[in-house]
Amino acid sequence: MPHRRATIGSAQGLHARPAAVFTQAAAAVGHPVTIGRVGQDPVMAASALMVMSLGLSQGEQVELVVDDAAPTGTIDELTALLEADLDAAS
């Protein structure tokens, strides 16, 4: 399965708004996507509650894993969202 490390870019971490933007994109993939701190158990990336429960702060590194059946470029798009400052985009 494709996987990639990403660094959280949102100034306030993945709180409600940035988590919602990211989880909506993950859900739209239509295939399993997980996110978690490196070396820890991942959660389903399509669940805002699960993603927010990670308590991710700006600068933290996470690992994203995308199902093999996901469309090409999915991991690039999701990584770009995580690394962007989604607070500044509002």
Cα separation, 77 vs 12, in Å, equals 21
The pLDDT value given to residue 89: 59
- Cβ atoms of 25 and 86 within 8 Å: the answer is no
Q: Residue 25 and residue 36: Cα distance in Å, rounded?
A: 16
Could you tell me the pTM of the whole model? 0.93
pLDDT at 88 over 90: no
- Domains of the chain in start order, with CATH, are 3-83 (3.30.1340.10)
51 CA to centre of own chain: 8
39-59: average pLDDT: 97
Q: Cα separation of 72 and 37, whole Å? A: 24
d(C-alpha 29, C-alpha 27), whole Å: 5
Q: Give pLDDT, residue 90.
A: 54
User: Residue 81's closest CA among 14, 16, 34, 2?
Assistant: 14
* pLDDT exceeds 70 at position 13: yes
Q: How confident is the model at residue 46 (pLDDT cuts 50, 70, 90)?
A: very high
